[in-house]
Chain A
């Protein structure tokens, strides 16, 4: 079956612009995770959804970052007033029911802020 997909695969934007990154989880997976990976580092947790609600958003670095999952499937990570430091690969993962399950990762969106 289809895995986790993310769009776009690459996004180049200018400092100060608004961007949206999309994640399509595996069908039926209730848990969805967003991570950020900077060059040469391991992934960093951003937010975890259980269904439509954010169960833990403690990893969002500041209020410029926001994520939604209105129907409990597709999720959108939104970044306002982008800064050069936001440049990273943004990874999405989903799992069947929750934190104790195997996570399936998407290919990531590479965001470059000029």
Chain B
């Protein structure tokens, strides 16, 4: 069984700060997703990656397959980035989700 862990569980930052959220998993995977869930429940897929690094606007995601670890970085954070960030790994034919990291960015 693939265990997915995220850290930190909760994170409060000041606007403009650089933020890092970590995800680690226990078994080899074929892909990893970073998801954003805003209050009210809507989920948006941010990245899907299987190696290396991807960048979209102020968001950067990296994955190290050997270390079974991925990070999501947010540069120049803004209050609208406040959400729960969820890591989900593709293991076999289904997804295993991490517990999420709740981010609050204060103005």
Residues of A at under 8 Å CB distance from B? 33, 35, 37, 41-45, 48, 55-56, 58-59, 89, 91, 93, 99-105, 107-108, 110
Task: Please give, as numbers and ranges, the residues of chain B lying within 8 Å of A44 by CB-CB distance.
Answer: 97
Closest to B47 in A: A102
Residues of B in contact, count (CB < 8 Å): 23
Closest to B43 in A: A105
B31 with A100: CB separation less than 8 A:
yes
Q: Is B21 an interface residue (CB 8 A)?
A: no
What are 29 A-B residue pairs whose CB atoms fall within 8 Å in the complex? A33-B95, A35-B95, A41-B99, A42-B86, A42-B97, A42-B99, A43-B95, A43-B97, A45-B94, A45-B96, A48-B93, A48-B94, A55-B93, A56-B92, A58-B94, A91-B43, A93-B43, A99-B31, A100-B50, A101-B48, A102-B45, A103-B45, A105-B35, A105-B42, A105-B43, A105-B44, A105-B45, A108-B41, A108-B42
Task: Please give, as numbers and ranges, the residues of chain B lying within 8 Å of A108 by CB-CB distance.
Answer: 41-42
Residues of B at under 8 Å CB distance from A? 30-31, 33, 35, 41-45, 48, 50, 86, 88, 90, 92-100
Could you tell me the distance between the alpha carbons of A43 and B93 in the complex, rounded to whole angstroms?
16
Task: Please give, as numbers and ranges, the residues of chain A lying within 8 Å of B50 by CB-CB distance.
Answer: 100
Task: Please give, as numbers and ranges, the residues of chain B lying within 8 Å of A104 by CB-CB distance.
Answer: 45
